[in-house]
Chain A
Amino acid sequence: MRVLLTSFAMDAHFNGSVPLAWALRAAGHEVRVASQPALTGSITAAGLTAVPVGTDPGLDEMVKGVGDSVLSHHANQSLDPEAPGQLTPAFLKGWDTMMTATFFTLVNDDPMVDELVAFARAWEPDLVLWEPFTFAGAVAAKMTGAAHARLLSFPDLFLSMRRAFLDQLGPGPTDADGVRAPHPEDSVGQWLQWTLGRYGVPFDEEAVTGQWSVDQVPRSFRPPSDRPTVGMRYIPYNGPVPAVVPDWLRVPPERPRVCVTLGLTARTSEFPNAVPVDLVLKAIEGLDIEVVATLDAEERALLSHVPDNVRLVDHVPLHALLPTCAAIVHHGGAGTWSTALVEGVPQIAMGWIWDAIERARRQQELGAGLHLPSHEVTVEGLRSRLVRLLEEPSFASAAARLRTEAESDPTPAEVVPVLERLTAQHRAHGRRRPGGASTPCAS
């Protein structure tokens, strides 16, 4: 079958789709990856076939202009759908309004949607797999009769928040034919209604939820959902940086090894890195451990002094480094967090916004790590947490349990036949095409 993958142009949101893309390729399916031109280099560096659509969305300009305000609305705000009193009407309306105005409409602007739809019409995919904020994928699928699903690389808090928001708003108006329109205060719904309306198609919630979701987050971190979900094991792929195993990593460490990383996203975008990196290194000074800190020149410039037990490297493949580590201290990003989770390494996550808070909080609840929001970092607080992580064996055993849980989900290769079957069920009749592996479930 033909599978169109799409993600807006940001590595951190695209990387999670690469292993599945390759599983589909390896099973004989055709795969294209559509994004704005800025992602073309990352797509081709992953060995995949790029389809540039639209123009670069200028996310950095947006973040520079209004990022502080948008982020401050969400900073240190629990998004736990079960936590009482957190998802207030004012918070959710601000979230819906600001994220739609500054982000969803920016990364799915009309030219991007139009070119994606035009490509889909020409190429006729059987399945569109879309990054959960790249709603253009749902539009392209609807316009061509393809099946479509969201591919999640982080907990699906978006949908649980949206459900809470829609419950608070109540139903939207119905037209003369009984078709229900989105509530006038539902910005996401309004915008998708206009977007679909340009093609003469009415809005329905499937444009937000997909027909189903492929979820790479272990079960313990999935918010309650009544949507069909296909669990998939997360396979680390760190992005378009060269993955090279250095000499020193080929021999086992002599002391417990701790990884310190701030991820890659803050290096290449205007998204702020809130971690006080100098404090982090001060906290580990003098501990009888070996620290590998992945910091680039800009991050190193923030250091007043580099302790003796720290090895500074610009970059090292995390999935090669982490199996040698007893713990990891990181900024809270989804890629780092997921890689540490599937490698069974206890984590101190410094998440301060969005799902990073919930991933870290839940991980602490499950005993596999500790959450230390970046604005609360002190030398003493971080040091005492790290000592606990290294000295109390319960952290390692809880992390091992989560690793086992992650490994219990099917691999991307095992998910491929499931996608073949679901595609056959959901795509418009008569769209079946030859190609790919034998498709036993599609008959």
Chain B
Amino acid sequence: MTHTETDETTTAETPVAAEEIQQTDSELGRHLLTARGFHWIYGTSGDPYALTLRAESDDPVALARRIREAETPLWQSAAGAWVTGRHGVAAEVLADPRLSLRHADLPGLQRHVFSDAWSNPLLCHIIPLDRAFLHASGADHARWERAAAPVLGAAAADGHRKSAERLHQETADGLGASFDLMADYSRPVATGAAAALLGVPEAQHDRFARACLALEVALDAALCPQPLVVTRRLTEAVEDVRALVGDLVAARRADPGDDLLGTVLRAGSPAEDALAVGVLTAAVGVGLTAGLINNAVEALLAHPRQWALLGESPDLSAGAVEETLRHAPPVRLESRIAAEDLTLAGQDIPAGAQVVVHVGAANRDPEVFLAPDHFDLTRPAGQGQLSLSGPHTSLFGAFARLQAETAVRTLRERHPRLAPADGVQRRMRSPVLGGVLRFSLTGSA
């Protein structure tokens, strides 16, 4: 496969990967440990953003409230980032093209070494995930979204509904009377739907699923240092999924079908763009989808009257997913870098500074939402919009929404007396996704 330089700000070439893997355990491990130490250190003063990144026993919703209720709508955390939990500022930040996923003046890997470690360490990119296309420029994202629109765009969603229903029915058929929502349902359907989008051949399904599993921590790993072994599995999975998708792209170039990669290629995009969209499907699309399903089911089961309502009107599944996007967003934190000096919410933000939107906090802003802590699937449409306003969530928003709607509808229909057997267990060090480890349910076989 060939590598094509897609724009001047993105460089993700093979030699860089070799360098990444050559970092010794001791070098990479100490880097991660130091970043983790900083999150603890900045949390000692009670800073709610630092405590969010620490992701220990503190209640993330309570921390989100403190982030939102800070004196100024946009405030600087001890951890360096400018943080907002107000809906108005959040929407402004996410729409501002001067705020990007990467440093405007740092070509190539978004790697920060804590050389002057004890003052102002850059905690905005804990590890460089450029090889997973997670720190791409706004221009790259716009091009990818445009090329993928015939498959991933909102208008295309209805066309995928039948195949989604088939996949969900098949998965539901395999469920016993009790099952684990994540392991037995959300993850398999999200991975299966992604494999279908990319046209992953049957023989490669297990390999693809293994890679997706290791990639589940990707969005967290960018902001919150993961243990070394988890980080190693992640970077290996990035390389593996690049190789897997790279082979698919090469095959589509000879024979473009109408799947996602073929569609991107047929739009005249270079192979690197198809690779990017494919890798992002595994690194972001799968986790976003599984997370949305988990959060929707968790919220519905915690509100039996809403679950009952959904039984009476299955079409409320769209409202249930929309309300989940608002109430329990699958991506809680969006991190940006200021490309130039700018003024936001009355604050002067210097070029290169990190700006973080707490989507979960903004989505419960009482200035925008009535009874914001209340989960209500009959709210007017569009209230979860902020949750799909980032480049990653926007690219896969329609896909995740369709899968989650289908999941909610299928589970409600097949298991009307579905109930948690136990509380939901979430991963540690998962401040961005609140990734679910286990969620045991008893169904009604």
User: Which of B31-39, B102-110, B174-182, B271-279 is found at the contact surface with chain A?
Assistant: B31-39
Q: Which positions in B face A, CB cutoff 8 Å?
A: 24-27, 29-30, 33-34, 36-38, 40-42, 44-45, 56-57, 117-119, 227-230, 428
Q: How far is the CB of B118 from chain A (nearest CB, A)?
A: 3
Closest to B114 in A: A101
Determine whether A404 belongs to the interface, using a CB cutoff of 8 Å to chain B: no
Size category of the A interface is 20 to 34
Cα-based distance from A195 to B27 in the complex (angstroms): 9
Q: How far is the CA of A404 from the CA of B26 in the complex (A)?
A: 47
27 residue pairs of the A-B complex, CB under 8 angstroms, read A61-B118, A64-B118, A65-B118, A66-B41, A70-B41, A72-B44, A72-B45, A89-B57, A90-B56, A90-B57, A97-B36, A97-B40, A98-B41, A101-B34, A101-B36, A101-B37, A102-B37, A105-B33, A105-B34, A185-B227, A190-B29, A190-B33, A190-B227, A194-B26, A194-B228, A198-B25, A198-B26
In the assembled complex, A375 has its CB within 8 A of some CB on chain B: no
User: What residues of B have a CB within 8 angstroms of the CB of A197 in the complex?
Assistant: 25-26
B33/A187 in contact, CB under 8 A: yes
Interface residues of A in 100-128 (CB under 8 A from B): 100-102, 105, 110
CB-nearest residue of chain B to A94: B40
In the complex, residue of chain B having the shortest beta-carbon distance to the beta carbon of A173? B229
Is A62 part of the binding interface, using a Cβ–Cβ cutoff of 8 Å?
yes
Say whether A198 contacts B24, CB under 8 Å.
yes
> Is A311 part of the binding interface, using a Cβ–Cβ cutoff of 8 Å?
no
Q: Are A184 and B24 in contact (CB under 8 A)?
A: no
Residue of B with least CB distance to A61 = B118
Please report the C-alpha to C-alpha distance between residue A100 and residue B35 in the assembled complex, in whole angstroms.
11
A100 near B33: Cβ-Cβ < 8 Å: yes
Contacts of B44 in A (CB 8 A): 69-70, 72-73, 94
| Contact pick for A101, options B38, B56, B228, CB 8 Å | B38
Q: Which residue of B lies closest to A73 (CB)?
A: B44
- The docked-state distance in angstroms from the alpha carbon of A98 to that of B41 is 7
CB-based contact B45/A69 at 8 Å:
yes
In angstroms, Cα B227 to Cα A190, docked, is 9
B118 proximity list for chain A (CB < 8 A): 61-62, 64-66
CB neighbours of A32 from chain B (8 A): none
User: Given the complex, which residues of B lie within 8 Å of A100, measured CB to CB?
Assistant: 33, 37
Q: Type the 1/0 row for A77-100, where 1 means its CB is closer than 8 Å to any CB of B.
A: 000000000000110011001101
> Given the complex, which residues of B lie within 8 Å of A190, measured CB to CB?
29, 33, 227-228
A184 to B233, CA, bound (A): 14
- B42 CB contacts on chain A under 8 angstroms: 69
- Docked Cα-Cα span, A191 to B228, in Å, equals 10
Q: Knowing that A184-B229, A194-B228 are A-B contacts, what are 14 other residue pairs whose CB atoms are under 8 Å apart, sorted by A's residue number?
A: A64-B118, A66-B41, A70-B44, A97-B36, A97-B37, A101-B40, A184-B227, A184-B230, A185-B227, A187-B36, A191-B29, A194-B26, A194-B30, A198-B26
Q: Which residue of B lies closest to A93 (CB)?
A: B56
Nearest CB in chain A: distance from B57 CB, A: 6
Q: Which residues of B contact A97 (CB under 8 A)?
A: 33, 36-37, 40
Chain A residues within 8 Å of B38, by CB: 66, 101
Q: Which of B24, B30, B119 has the most CB of A within 10 A?
A: B30
